[in-house]
Amino acid sequence: MRIPRRSFLKGTASLAAGAALDGCAAASRPARVTPWVWCGAVTARTALVKARAPFSERPYLWVAPLRDAMGARELAPAAVGPHGVATFALEGLEPGTDYLYALRDRARAGELLGRFKTFTPGPTSFRFSTASCARTGSSHAVFDTIRKRKPAFFLHLGDLHYENIDANDPAVFARAFDLVLSSPSQSELYRSCPIAYTWDDHDYGPNNSDRGAPGRLAALAAYREHVPHYPLAGTRTIHQAFTVGRVRFILTDLRADRDGPGVPFETRTMLGPEQKAWLLAELAEAGRYGLVVWASSVGWIGDGGDDDWGGFPAERAEIGRFLMEHGVKNLLMVSGDAHMLAIDDGSHNTMVDGGPGFPLFHAAALDQKGSDKGGPFSHPQVPGGGQYGEVDIVDEGGRVQVTLTGRDHEARAIMQHRFAV
């Protein structure tokens, strides 16, 4: 169905001004559900939009290239979940193209506007932002700062909220998503660029949670319904992967199948057997890409910590040996959990004798008090809130140039490291 030009252009003007109709009131426990929409699982030709539209039983999505609002298409939901989340599958898109979308209903009772850009195959340069750890429903200025820096997507490393849910009730997790996506600044960010998201402990279950979390099954169900994720590679966890140009992104789930603290260090696993086999298979294919980015929700460097990779030394060493045996030299890890910025150039994270080190970028906290964990790092650790990471990729077909920049909520650079692979 074609959309009247005046109608759609009016909406695009609102988006350019950063406006959202039908209110994005403060997200402190709203009496009613505020409508929300976000986009993810973007490829060169497809994307996924998830939306909560309590103003309508029949929401629909209008989608158009930014350069041609007259070419808008109307989409009905591919599915509507048990908590009213509509899924819109966008197909047949053009690579490297900016798109606008509008969530509406037949009575025009409400409207939310968003945008995304499809990826470009082959060598391409882009920026993504990454971070973790924000208070539930936070409207911290850092989210506006990230949006204004115009990343290709936002890679969320976990602790999207701090509800610490210990009930096996998907409705409780659904309310947590409503609280987060009712935040004005977070809502605007997630409508301005796609999301790629893996969880950590506080948004999966209680503090330091593992596969024994009471709400494990509910958390998995709520994630599948609410998050516009890439195809999940297994059933027990939310691990997934995607490619932008010549860069492969690997998102691991380090909560839903990890052993509890009672299992000996020598045998305990953070990944679980299914996910570990998948991760090693992904790493074995690193030579196909210019760069591989592994999103690990917890820190890699350190000894003796129960909750990060230091508490899983045998599994960490196994991965280190695998990297050495397969000659993987184009890996970057981004991680969260600790409320700090930190960078290691690869000189402090050789976990097996003779094994390769690789750059590591620790990016947090969006909106939490500062904390120090792990280390040592080649760059100073900077604890604090209102912080995030920015990764710039320059790929012209030869070596991939990477710039890591830790920024504060005013976009000031706190630390930076450059390397090429």
- Dist CA 162 CA 201 (whole Å): 9
Q: Quote the strand ranges of 158-239, DSSP E.
A: 195-197
- Dist CA 324 CA 92 (whole Å): 40
Beta carbons within 8 Å of 79's beta carbon, 6+ residues apart: 86, 87
> What's the half-sphere exposure (Cβ side, CA atoms, 13 Å) at 395?
21
Judge if pTM exceeds 0.85. Answer: yes
Q: Which segments of 231-389 does DSSP mark as H helices, in order?
A: 273-284, 313-325
Q: Taking every pair of C-alpha atoms in the chain, what is the biggest distance, in angstroms? A: 66
* Residues 14-24: tens digit of each pLDDT: 443 333 333 33
Considering the chain, tell me which residue range(s) the CATH 2.60.40.10 domain(s) occupy: 5-117
* Residues 187-220: tens digit of each pLDDT: 999 999 999 999 999 999 999 999 999 999 999 9
Average pLDDT along the chain: 91
2, pLDDT greater than 50: no
Domain covering 126-420, topology: Purple Acid Phosphatase; chain A, domain 2 (3.60.21)
* Residues 112-139: tens digit of each pLDDT: 899 999 999 999 999 999 999 999 999 9
Q: Please provide the DSSP assignment of 31-44 as one string.
A: SSPPPEEEEE---S
Q: Can you say whether residue 122 is alpha, beta or left, with left for phi > 0 and alpha for psi between -120 and 50 degrees?
A: left
Confidence of residue 353 (pLDDT cuts 50, 70, 90): confident
Considering the chain, tell me which residue range(s) the CATH 3.60.21.70 domain(s) occupy: 126-420
Q: Omega of the bond prior to 123 within 30 degrees of 0, cis?
A: no
Confidence of residue 104 (pLDDT cuts 50, 70, 90): confident
At 107 the pLDDT is: 60
Spatial contact of 333 and 307, defined as CB atoms under 8 Å apart:
no
Confidence of residue 70 (pLDDT cuts 50, 70, 90): confident
- For the 5-117 domain, the top CATH level (class) is mainly beta
Confidence of residue 284 (pLDDT cuts 50, 70, 90): very high
Higher pLDDT, 57 or 5: 57
At 108 the pLDDT is: 59
390, pLDDT greater than 90: yes
